[in-house]
A = this chain, B = another copy of it.
């Protein structure tokens, strides 16, 4: 894929995603799901800042906006990184394996890039998880008209984290370095821990505020 992911119009991106080419794929979707969550949280901050009735929350909303924008930038970069690493991986699988030396260097290249293909989604899961602490304060004190958007954001986080971790897992399965596999799997398990409870807590706040 020559064109940069984020420069693609949505329609074209969805077409490329549907096609039988390896990229973009689920890893990019996980990162973009996280980026959409970050964007929605930034929007709720922007709809809160400068409004008289939310003046007491203004300083916190500004701080949360900075955090949401930083995580959005990171998740956008990771979406592109996911596409890049899979393009490299496809290229590595196409390396020659006629001689034993060829085969050995092809195998080393595949191992090296597959390792990278676990690192990128792990960073996606970590960045998406880092959005969670922004959700509860915005659900409680942000612009009430946008509280459903906080709910959508936290639902996208709940999708993006395990989606990224599935990509970690499928690539770990192809790795030979069992120490790296065990270490990475432990980090992935830590990230998944307590996610559902935290998401349910935010959703309860959102539903309460919609009903109030």
Contact = CB atoms under 8 A, between A and B. Distances in A.
Interface of A: 5-11, 13-15, 17-20, 22, 25-27, 29-30, 32-33, 35-36, 38-40, 42-43, 46-47, 49, 68-69, 72, 76, 146-149, 151-153, 155-156, 158-159, 162-163, 166-167, 169-170, 173, 203, 206-207, 210-211
Nearest to A146: B25
Nearest to A172: B210
A169 B40 contact: no
B18 A43 contact: yes
Nearest to A20: B46
Contact of A210 (B20, B33, B163, B169): B169
| CB-CB nearest 6 A-B residue pairs | A20-B46, A26-B152, A159-B159, A17-B39, A18-B42, A6-B11
Contacts of A146: 25-26
A152 B29 contact: yes
Contacts of A30: 152
Contacts of A47: 20, 22
A93 B56 CA distance: 26
Nearest to A170: B148
A15 to B, nearest CB: 8
A43 B22 CA distance: 9
A156 B33 CA distance: 8
16 contacts: A8-B10, A11-B76, A17-B39, A17-B40, A18-B38, A18-B46, A18-B72, A20-B46, A29-B40, A33-B156, A147-B170, A155-B163, A156-B159, A169-B207, A170-B210, A173-B210
Contact of A10 (B26, B32, B43, B156): B32
A151 B166 contact: yes
A25 B149 CA distance: 7
Nearest to A38: B18
Contacts of A162: 151, 155, 203
